[in-house]
Amino acid sequence: MDINDKLLDLYSSEIKKLTSADIKAENIDGPLLMHCWEEEYFNSKYKILFLGREPNGWLGDLYHEISYPIHRYKEFELCENGNYTVFWQYIYDFKNILMPETIGQKNFLWSNTSKFSKAKEGTAISLEDFKLFSNNFKVLKNEIKITNPDVIIFFTGSDWDEKIQYQLEDQLTFNAVSENFDKAELARISSKNFPFHTYRVPHPITMQTQKKWNYMEKIIEIIKGN
């Protein structure tokens, strides 16, 4: 069974739980569901999964079926047909510097730590709603198992560490990558569910504003040297 079939089975099972829970939360958008361009992904030297915070009005509504969310992800084509925001510039710059032979390829995966957000852009999901939807649509750990990335980058900042931990059964540890970097800013996350190269950095907009691209350079250096 390939990645997309396994993801489909996972999402189909979890959406049934979400529907049967009959949740009454208002103004919710989601879920964000992935599709893998498998040939390019499997042929990459490094299989990378990038994870942001939340969808931020990705679908415009709450869906209790999976066909449209998956269609939306495929149609988006990892921002290949759109204007790159700072978030996507960081994704493409990172993967193209790490693997210049893959320029122009959809050889990575992108999702968010929370598969749901407020429907209105720019309004963060509350911790209460985050836990409610995580409890009734718990997919992050299994997404990682199914896609089996070599590298995971959490563009979440340290204030989302609790939300990452909430979705995983194993305890996480946040380790400094060197004495020159504060682990509150750049950390390697250790967990039995994660590959060795799992890192948490600030959101790209924050890194851009603070001129902290050197965080990404350090991660590339560690990966290439390991």
3-state secondary structure the chain: CCHHHHHHHHHHHHHHHHHHHCCCCCCEEECCCCCCCHHHHHCCCCCEEEEECCCCCCCCCECCCCHHHHHHHHHHHHHCCCCCCHHHHHHHHHHHHHCHHHCCCCCEEEEECCCCEECCCCCCCCHHHHHHHHHHCCCHHHHHHHHCCCEEEEECCHHHHHHHHHCCCCCCEEEECCCCCCCCCCEEEECCCCCCEEEEECCHHHHHHCCCCHHHHHHHHHHHHC
Checking if the pLDDT of 123 tops 80, the result is no
Can you give the residue range of the structural domain that contains 168? Answer: 3-225
Mean pLDDT of the chain, nearest integer: 93
- pLDDT for res 209: 96
- 108 φ, ψ (degrees, to nearest 5): -140, 175
* Number of domains present in the structure of the chain: 1
The pLDDT, as a whole number, for residue 125 is: 86
pTM comes to 0.96
* C-alpha dihedral sign at 184, 185, 186, 190: positive
- Here the CATH number for the domain that contains residue 175 is 3.40.470
For residue range 130-146, what is the model confidence (pLDDT) as tens digits? 999 999 999 999 999 99
